[in-house]
Amino acid sequence: MKKIITFIVTALLAVLACFSLTACGKNKKVEDGATIVIGVTDYAPMDYLEDGQWVGFDAELSKIVFEKLGYKVEFKEIDWDTKIVTLNSGKIDCIWNGMTVTDELLDNVLLSNVYLQNQQYAVVKVANQANFTNLDSLKGKKVAVESGSAAEDALADVDCELRKLTNQNSAVMEVAAGTSDVAIVDYTMAKTLTSAGSSYEGSLVAIDLGFEVEEFSIAFRKSDSKLCFNVNKTIKSLINDGTVKELAEKYEIENLLVD
Amino acid sequence: MWNITLNLLSGFGVTCLIFILTLVFALPLGLLIAFGGMSSFKPLSYLIKTIVWVVRGTPLMLQVMVVFYAPAFLLGWSGLQCTAATVVAFVINYACYFSEIYRGGIQSITKGQYEAGQVLGMTKSQIFSKVVLLQVIKRIIAPMSNEIITLVKDTSLARVIATEEILFVAFNRYVSKGIIWPLFYSGAFYLLFVGILTIIFNKLEKKLSYFKA
């Protein structure tokens, strides 16, 4: 018995020792002129695949910015749930994918200046549309959100029954299935999922309940402060010369431009 | 529809690749682990038993993540590509499960058969390869087919590190755009694959039932 206990304790200590060493990858720095690996998901209109190529507002903007700074660009599809781990492990060098700033991100990664605005929208069944007009209409309702998302943060003070799912699609699917009354997701997501070509077209509708305006940002490793600084500077110049506005018009999200 | 089928098929190709590579490496590795676990050299058998305990005692999804991320965090090495990392994790995991099936099969052979072999002047390895092994294969075919069919569907766990297997394609190309039906359509691919495997295993079982009267 004693042997077994000693063995288990040793095993646990070994595992702990492994975890305490998990700091190395975090300090990785992108070298000048290197290839920057951008972590993305298939998320129209920000980053999406068309004939095998990554296009979209973020895909084009990121290419322009990094090429101006003398980097080569490679897009890598990631799992959104583990984006922070993927970034800090060095598998990717930044996350540029219509990402809303949350407390979790602020704690773990370095965030760029805001380059687009975001707002949470409600997705409900067309038949229930009339019941949802403002934030108060969420009271007592079954509300589906992505766990750890900006929507969850935004609903902290609302008295409703939260269903925390792994991603925004699942939240919207809950509404379609009837297992939740309403899903709170990003504006771009709400629009994509209720527009032409979606299975939900005509049955679900996106509504503005008056959530506060949020911010889209780009994530870097904390060790890449110089890179982040340069990206901020470049984006500012692209906003000033109208390139960002042009791109936003191309992808029909000009309402998200920062004033 | 055709386009979606093609896209899902390319994802299914990755699924099959993971499946085949896992079998190719895990089947022999499992046998080695089984021998190690039964070894009379105690430190080796304890080590193997501990490894089997850890691998069978933790979720495969977690193991996939560890193989993919741990080299990067611990050594600062960017590590394996996602499909390679998936295969490594799957091989280790399935080899451990296979090893227990092998062990069960090997230990089910009665001591009398070993003794009979010795009496006839056969060496240890002759006894194993000429007497024991064939009976073991016969006996483990049912539990093995069970495990192998589970493997087909476990490949979907590779999604956690964004390996582009069929379920990843269904979720990230279609469900993310509000098109749900490809998700259920992808189930048909698994069903077909497992159907074919079931037929193969049934045939194999019949072919190997030659000792029965």
Which pLDDT score is estimated for A199?
Answer: 87
Q: Are both A105 and A122 inside the same structural domain?
A: no
Which pLDDT score is estimated for A62?
Answer: 97
Chain A residues with CB-CB distance to B173 below 8 A: 42, 49
The conformation of residue A112, written as its DSSP 8-state character, comes to: P
Check CB contact of A11 with chain B, cutoff 8 Å.
Answer: yes
Q: Rounded CA gap, A231 and A112, in Å?
A: 8
Interface test with B, best of A10, A83, A91, A170 (most B CBs within 10 A): A91
Q: Among B70, B76, B179, whose Cβ lies nearest the Cβ of A198? A: B179
Q: Rounded CA gap, A195 and A197, in Å?
A: 6
Contact present, B170 and B4 (Cβ < 8 Å): no
Which pLDDT score is estimated for B43?
Answer: 95
Check CB contact of B159 with chain A, cutoff 8 Å.
Answer: yes
Find the angle CA(A118)-CA(A88)-CA(A13) to the nearest 5 degrees.
130
Q: Does A156 map to a domain?
A: yes
Q: Name the amino acid, one letter, at A103.
A: D
B73/A24 Cβ within 8 A: yes
The shortest C-alpha distance from A170 to chain B (Å) reads 9
CATH superfamily to which B2-207 belongs: MetI-like (1.10.3720.10)
Structurally, chain A folds into a number of domains equal to 2
CATH of residue A177's domain is 3.40.190.10
Q: Over chain A (259 residues), what is each successive 10-residue block's mean pLDDT?
A: 59 57 64 92 90 94 96 94 91 94 92 94 94 92 90 90 90 92 93 88 93 94 95 96 94 88
B55 pLDDT exceeds 90?
A: yes
Q: Are both A206 and A223 inside the same structural domain?
A: no
Which pLDDT score is estimated for B176?
Answer: 83
Which pLDDT score is estimated for B11?
Answer: 95
Q: Are both A152 and A230 inside the same structural domain?
A: no
Which pLDDT score is estimated for B74?
Answer: 86
Chain A residues with CB-CB distance to B163 below 8 A: none
B-contacting residues in A 163-182 (Cβ below 8 Å): 167, 169, 172-173, 176
Q: Are both A138 and A196 inside the same structural domain?
A: yes
Average model confidence (pLDDT) across chain B = 93
- Model confidence pLDDT, tens digit, residues B70-90: 988 888 777 788 999 999 999
Model confidence at B41, in pLDDT bands (50, 70, 90)? very high
Q: Does A89 map to a domain?
A: yes
- Model confidence pLDDT, tens digit, residues A27-43: 778 888 899 999 999 88
Check CB contact of A41 with chain B, cutoff 8 Å.
Answer: yes
Q: Are strands A182-186 and A116-125 parallel, antiparallel or unpaired?
A: antiparallel
Q: Are both A99 and A164 inside the same structural domain?
A: no
Q: Are both A209 and A248 inside the same structural domain?
A: no
Q: Does A65 map to a domain?
A: yes
Which pLDDT score is estimated for A259?
Answer: 74
Q: Rounded CA gap, A52 and A55, in Å?
A: 9
- Model confidence pLDDT, tens digit, residues B149-173: 999 999 999 999 999 999 999 988 8
**What's the whole-model pTM score?**
0.83
Q: Which domain holds residue A177?
A: 118-213
Contact present, A52 and B164 (Cβ < 8 Å): no
The shortest C-alpha distance from A85 to chain B (Å) reads 8
Chain B residues with CB-CB distance to A167 below 8 A: 176
Which pLDDT score is estimated for B75?
Answer: 83
Interface test with A, best of B4, B81, B161, B172 (most A CBs within 10 A): B172
Which pLDDT score is estimated for B76?
Answer: 79
Which pLDDT score is estimated for A61?
Answer: 96
A-contacting residues in B 15-44 (Cβ below 8 Å): none
Token pair of A196, please? Answer: 């032409």
Q: Are both A90 and A155 inside the same structural domain?
A: no
Chain B residues with CB-CB distance to A31 below 8 A: none
Q: Stretch B124-147: mean pLDDT, rounded?
A: 92
The shortest C-alpha distance from B65 to chain A (Å) reads 10
Q: In chain B, pLDDT over 70 holds for what percent of residues?
A: 99
Q: Stretch B38-42: mean pLDDT, rounded?
A: 93
The shortest C-alpha distance from B19 to chain A (Å) reads 21
B88-to-A2, A22, A156, A173 alpha-carbon distances in Å: 35, 21, 42, 34
ipTM, two decimals: 0.78
Q: What is the dihedral of CA A116, A121, A123, A124, to 10 degrees?
A: -160
Q: Among B76, B160, B176, whose Cβ lies nearest the Cβ of A25? A: B76
Which pLDDT score is estimated for A19?
Answer: 52
Q: Does A11 map to a domain?
A: no
Q: Are both A68 and A182 inside the same structural domain?
A: no
Q: Does A4 map to a domain?
A: no
B186 pLDDT exceeds 90?
A: yes
Q: Are both A110 and A220 inside the same structural domain?
A: yes
Q: Are both A109 and A177 inside the same structural domain?
A: no
Model confidence at B68, in pLDDT bands (50, 70, 90)? very high
Q: Rounded CA gap, B128 and A151, in Å?
A: 63
Chain B residues with CB-CB distance to A79 below 8 A: 159-162
B-contacting residues in A 131-170 (Cβ below 8 Å): 167, 169
Which pLDDT score is estimated for A157?
Answer: 87
Q: Among A18, A21, A192, whose Cβ lies nearest the Cβ of B177? A: A192
Q: Are both A123 and A76 inside the same structural domain?
A: no
Which pLDDT score is estimated for A23?
Answer: 47
B72/A198 Cβ within 8 A: no
Q: Does A180 map to a domain?
A: yes
B125-to-A101, B117, B122 alpha-carbon distances in Å: 64, 11, 8
Q: Among A43, A89, A192, whose Cβ lies nearest the Cβ of B73? A: A89
Q: Are both A222 and A182 inside the same structural domain?
A: no
